[in-house]
Amino acid sequence: MADDQKPEGSPTPPSPGGEASKPPQKPAPPPPAAKPAAPKPAAPAGGHAAPPKPPATMAATPWASELAQELKERFADRILETSTYLGQNFIVAKPDSVIPVLEYLKLEADFDYLVDVTAVDWPKRPERFDLVYILYSFARNERVRVKTHIPEGYKPETAVTVHLGANWLEREVFDMFGIEFAGHPDMRRILLPEEWQGYPLRKDYPIIQQDQAWVRENLEIESGQ
């Protein structure tokens, strides 16, 4: 209230905009139950972040190679970024074109080994999750990561149609992050019990949290801690 730092322009348009945007923007998503430094300013350049300490962007450089060129020609604006960091190449694709990209890389560029599928949670970002596919090519002896940013509730298409090995890897992503893969043959939890509530690797899931009801019912103890 009483924001005296509104020097210019008509006061009406900015103030409702500014105030309307603030309340829903839950300033501290992780409940302060846990002490750790989880609420670090993780979001890369998320507008006007309050603590201006870290530069908070990866110092990636453009990835100049034939493959990157081919991909850009083939997928045009569906590829958002082809970069390299620490000598490791990655592609950022639009969520709905990840599977075509994986397919293209497998069939046309010999990236026939899906090393890993995983996700990273950035709760302050509108597109909350990074979905990361790590690929390797035996023929080229080269790795590439395909990344995409997806909002909460988005159901990315499964990669099982391209790489059979994605089955368990995607189940683990579902288990830990609650990202459901559309068209997956067996979309169930894999490491945690099926009835477990919550997705532990989300940032708003504190480290000491657990499904108390499940523990009480199945282990017949008050707490697993």
Partner 1 sequence: MPDATFLDSTELVLNMGPQHPSTHGVLRVILKLDGEKILGTECVIGYLHRGVEKIAENRTFAQFNPYVDRMDYVAAISNGLGYCLAVEKLLNIEAPPRAQVIRVLLTELNRIASHLLWLGTHALDIGAITPVFYCLREREEALKIFEKYCGARLTTHAFRIGGLLYETYDGFEQDIMAFCDWLLPKVDEYEELLTNNRIWVGRLKNVGVLNAEECKEFGVTGPVLRAAGVKWDLRKAQPYSGYEKYEFEIPTRQNGDTYDRYIVRMEEMRQSVRIMRQAVESIPEGPIMGKVGKVIKPAVGEAYVSIEAPKGELGYYIVSDGSTQPYRVRVRPPSFVNLQALDRMVRGGLVADVVAVIGTLDIVLGEVDR
Q: Which one of 13-21, 72-80, 184-192, 213-221 is the stretch in contact with partner 1 (CB under 8 A)?
A: 184-192
Nearer Cβ to partner 1, position 103 or 116?
A: 116
**Cβ contact 176:200 at 8 Å:** yes
Which residue is it, tokens 């089955």?
167
- Cβ proximity of 25 and 123 under 8 Å: no
- The reply to whether 138 sits near partner 1 by the rule CB under 8 A is yes
In whole angstroms, the minimum distance from the beta carbon of 153 to partner 1 comes to: 21
Place of tokens 């905009």: 17
Rounded Cα distance between 62 and 91, Å, is 10
Decide: is 165 part of the binding site for partner 1 (CB under 8 A): yes
- The answer to the question of residue 128 lying near partner 1 (CB under 8 A) is no
> By three-state DSSP, how is residue 117 classified?
strand
Q: Which residue from 79, 114, 131, 150 is in contact with partner 1, where contact means CB under 8 A? A: 114
Binding of partner 1 at residue 58 (CB under 8 A)?
yes
| Count of residues touching partner 1 (by CB under 8 A) | 49
- Residue selected from 107, 182, 207, 219 as contacting partner 1 according to rule CB under 8 A: 207
CB of 207 to partner 1, least distance (A): 5
Interaction of residue 163 with partner 1, rule CB under 8 A: yes
| Beta strand segments in the chain, E | 61-62, 79-85, 88-93, 113-121, 129-137, 142-150
Say how many CA atoms lie within 13 Å of 12 toward its Cβ. Answer: 0
> Cα separation of 44 and 81, whole Å?
15
Candidate list 70, 75, 104, 112; residue touching partner 1; CB under 8 A: 112
Name the one range near partner 1 by CB under 8 A: 1-9, 80-88, 91-99, 148-156.
80-88
Residue closer to partner 1 by CB (options 109, 114) is: 114
Q: How far apart are CA 148 and CA 167, in angstroms?
A: 18
Burial of 111 (0-12, 13-18, 19+ CB in 10 A): buried
Binder among 49, 201, 204, 215 for partner 1 (CB under 8 A): 201
Asked whether position 55 contacts partner 1 by CB under 8 A, the answer is yes
64-70 long-range contacts, Cβ below 8 Å, gap at least 24? 65/89, 67/109, 67/144, 70/108, 70/109
Q: Write out the residues near partner 1 by the rule CB under 8 A.
A: 34, 36-38, 40-42, 44, 54-60, 85-86, 88, 112-116, 118, 120-121, 132, 134, 138, 141, 143, 145, 163-165, 167-169, 172, 176, 190-193, 200-201, 203, 205, 207
